[in-house]
Amino acid sequence: MAAADTSTFSRLVGLAPALTVLLLVAPVVAGLAGAAAPAFGWLPVLGGEQLSLAPWVSLANTPGLFEMLVLSFTTGLISTALALTIVVLFLGAFADSTAFVWLKRLLSPLLAVPHAAAAIGLAFLLAPSGLAMRLVSPALSGHATPPDYLFPGDPFGLALIAGLVVKEVPFLLLMSLSALPQCQADDRRHLALSLGYSPVTAFLKAVLPSLYPLIRLPVYAVIAFASSNVDVAMILGPSTPPTLAVSVVRWLGDPDLSMRFMASAAALSQLGITLLALACWWCLEQAVRWCATPRLTDGRRNSGQRLGSLLGGGLTWLSVTLLGASLLGLTLWSLAAFWPFPSAWPTPLTLANWGRALPGLLPAALDTLWLALAATALATILVIGCLESEALNHRSMGASATLVLYLPLLVPPVAFLYGLVQLQAQLSVAPGFMVVVLGHCLFVLPYVFLSLAESYRRLDPRWAQVAAGLGHGPAAAFVRVRLPLLLAPIATAAAVGVAVSAGQYLPTLLLGAGRLTTLTTEAVSLASGGDRRLTAVYALAQLLLPALGFALAIGLPRVLHSHRRALLT
């Protein structure tokens, strides 16, 4: 442009991308370094002043290490493969149906359910004395007392896989839905249908080969999450031995401080196991591509149609139903007084559990709220700054920027957060609110960005041009035109941010050094105890906050723009 724009606004906006990169990259790199040093014996605070391999030797001698590694690896890969299969088959089988429209509407609320709440709900639903067994007992199952099977916590991690799948399906579905328009999915599908292909086959052969590269990073993020998460694995995973990530957190909390050397080595191993899972997935990709490419053009019109539509429909509704039934079960438990086994409905219903929980619930809810608001505000401002800077400079970020955005989602949090805690101790930064806010931001910012970028980039640039033609500079065009036009997507992105922050377990626990109690940390620690009623109350409270956020995000633009029809569709 001939006239360089050097207003304060443009300069401020220009800072946003650099700040964002710094915020996302610096903690991950510093955290990994902070975990690497003690893993090789270097931790002066605890007297480790010599490089040694001793931490690795003691890790290798830990009983059950191999099982832990295998468990993390298999649950990560299997749950991702299942979730991706479900999403792909569903998209293929139901693209034009009303079921599709319905699921799209359900997607945001499903995504807002925090992982821990979903896991607790699933545990209560499928446990031997859970709601599902009560519904078929004693009439169908013949059990008058709870049957004897291990759930959650089965040694193969099946409960853990189920818990991961029900939360990954909505995420992958959302990412696919936003990628579909970019590969002209509808046109291609309709073309293939007109050439005589059945719906699922049309999708698999004409759309999927272009769709998959667009959702590859989200899939990798899912693998990284599934192979290294802590809260779901604590609630649903086996305990002897647990997954590696859970062990790392346990060793870190061990009163014997010398355990921290071994914990560091384990944290690095977690990074290794996640990278191994990613590498295996990449090999799988290549194998599938090698096998499938010749079949794309073999002219068969019905490949995978019957099985695909059956599985796609069945499994999607199964995972949605599981999540829905889990929430119903949580609600019943939170209102139950006395609820003996085979009865499916607790009588009487009472609010006593809520009343009992209230003194602890309120401060935890407030802490969760403030954390979520602070992290979301910071993340949203930075994201809008980045996108506005794109708009002002007429160029969008490259592939490397996307990778930066995904960095905190691809590196196992347990590996770098743990290193950050070590650094925090060495630099004597007091753990507390601000540190935790920054920690939440690492995970909130990518989701806010992913949620907002599409709408921001699609906004017609002529709106700002009209404003400039009428004499308004970039700042006024931003405040008076772009922000109001984008109010709804910004509100939704902020609600996503609140939901992500409210669901964070590990950053709150580690960076807050246990001093910050949120609904999620309470729910997770209650889940390992025996009080189902109290746990259900916390899990529901944990869910209410994000739900409230989404309700506001949907309602607020409707109220503010109630007389502006074009903005309500």
Comparing CB distances to another protein, the nearer of 256 and 460 is 460
* Residue of 38, 41, 408, 474 interacting with another protein (CB under 8 A): 474
CB of 551 to another protein, least distance (A): 22
Comparing CB distances to another protein, the nearer of 111 and 491 is 491
Q: In the window 438-467, what residues touch another protein (CB under 8 A)?
A: 460-463, 465-467
CB of 479 to another protein, least distance (A): 12
CB of 488 to another protein, least distance (A): 11
Q: In the window 481-520, what residues touch another protein (CB under 8 A)?
A: 481, 484-485, 487
Comparing CB distances to another protein, the nearer of 216 and 564 is 564
* Residue of 2, 139, 291, 399 interacting with another protein (CB under 8 A): 2
Residue 429 neighbours by CB under 8 Å, 6+ apart: 423, 435
Applying CB under 8 A, the span of 343-351, 421-429, 450-458, 472-480 interacting with another protein comes to 472-480
* Residue of 105, 480, 515, 558 interacting with another protein (CB under 8 A): 480
Cα gap 435→181, rounded to integer Å: 39
Applying CB under 8 A, the span of 149-157, 188-196, 469-477, 504-512 interacting with another protein comes to 469-477
* Residue of 136, 349, 430, 470 interacting with another protein (CB under 8 A): 470
Instruction: For residue 312, give the amino acid letter.
Output: G
* Residue of 472, 517, 531, 554 interacting with another protein (CB under 8 A): 472
> How far is residue 240 CA from its own chain's centroid?
26
Comparing CB distances to another protein, the nearer of 5 and 531 is 5
Comparing CB distances to another protein, the nearer of 168 and 390 is 390
Comparing CB distances to another protein, the nearer of 301 and 561 is 561
Helix 532-560 with 305-335: angle, nearest 10 deg: 110
CB of 213 to another protein, least distance (A): 25
Residue 53 neighbours by CB under 8 Å, 6+ apart: 40, 41
Residue keyed to tokens 């650094």? 423
Comparing CB distances to another protein, the nearer of 188 and 482 is 482
With binding defined as CB under 8 A, does residue 567 bind another protein? yes
Comparing CB distances to another protein, the nearer of 1 and 140 is 1
Secondary structure of residue 336 in the 3-state scheme: strand
As to burial, measured by CB atoms within 10 angstroms (0-12 exposed, 13-18 middle, 19+ buried), residue 51 is: exposed
Cα gap 513→56, rounded to integer Å: 25
Total binding residues toward another protein, as defined by CB under 8 A: 34
Applying CB under 8 A, the span of 274-282, 294-302, 305-313, 478-486 interacting with another protein comes to 478-486
Cα gap 533→517, rounded to integer Å: 19
Q: Which residue, 506, 511, 26, 37, is CA-closest to 265? A: 37
x/- track of binding to another protein for residues 367-406 (CB under 8 A): --------------------------xxx-----------
* Residue of 63, 294, 471, 529 interacting with another protein (CB under 8 A): 471
* Residue of 44, 299, 473, 555 interacting with another protein (CB under 8 A): 473
CB of 568 to another protein, least distance (A): 9
CB of 484 to another protein, least distance (A): 4
CB of 478 to another protein, least distance (A): 12
Residue keyed to tokens 């970039």? 474
Using alpha carbons only, give the angle 168, 170, 172 rounded to the nearest 5 degrees.
65
**290 Rama sector, left if φ>0, alpha if ψ -120 to 50, beta otherwise:** alpha
Comparing CB distances to another protein, the nearer of 352 and 479 is 479
Helix 519-527 with 532-560: angle, nearest 10 deg: 150
* Residue of 469, 529, 530, 559 interacting with another protein (CB under 8 A): 469
CB of 8 to another protein, least distance (A): 13
Note every long-range contact of 40-49, with CB atoms under 8 Å and residues 24 or more positions apart, other chains counting: 41/261, 43/260, 43/261, 43/264, 43/422, 44/426, 45/425, 45/426, 46/257, 46/258, 46/260, 46/261, 48/261
Secondary structure of residue 299 in the 3-state scheme: coil
Count of residues making up the chain? 569
How many C-beta atoms lie closer than 10 Å to residue 205's C-beta?
Answer: 24
CB of 397 to another protein, least distance (A): 14
Applying CB under 8 A, the span of 166-174, 273-281, 328-336, 470-478 interacting with another protein comes to 470-478
CB of 279 to another protein, least distance (A): 38
Comparing CB distances to another protein, the nearer of 1 and 144 is 1
CB of 458 to another protein, least distance (A): 15
Secondary structure of residue 121 in the 3-state scheme: helix
Contact 507, 519 (CB under 8 A): no
Q: Write the DSSP assignment of 347-395 as a string of letters.
A: SSB-SHHHHHHHHHHHHHHHHHHHHHHHHHHHHHHHHHHHHHHHHHHT-
Longest dimension (CA), the chain: 82
Contact 109, 224 (CB under 8 A): no
x/- track of binding to another protein for residues 526-565 (CB under 8 A): -----------------------------------x-xxx
Contact 553, 112 (CB under 8 A): no
Comparing CB distances to another protein, the nearer of 10 and 319 is 10
CB of 473 to another protein, least distance (A): 4
Q: In the window 263-282, what residues touch another protein (CB under 8 A)?
A: none
Secondary structure of residue 318 in the 3-state scheme: helix
Query: In the complex, which residues of this chain contact another protein (CB under 8 A)?
Result: 1-3, 5, 393-395, 460-463, 465-474, 476-477, 480-481, 484-485, 487, 561, 563-567
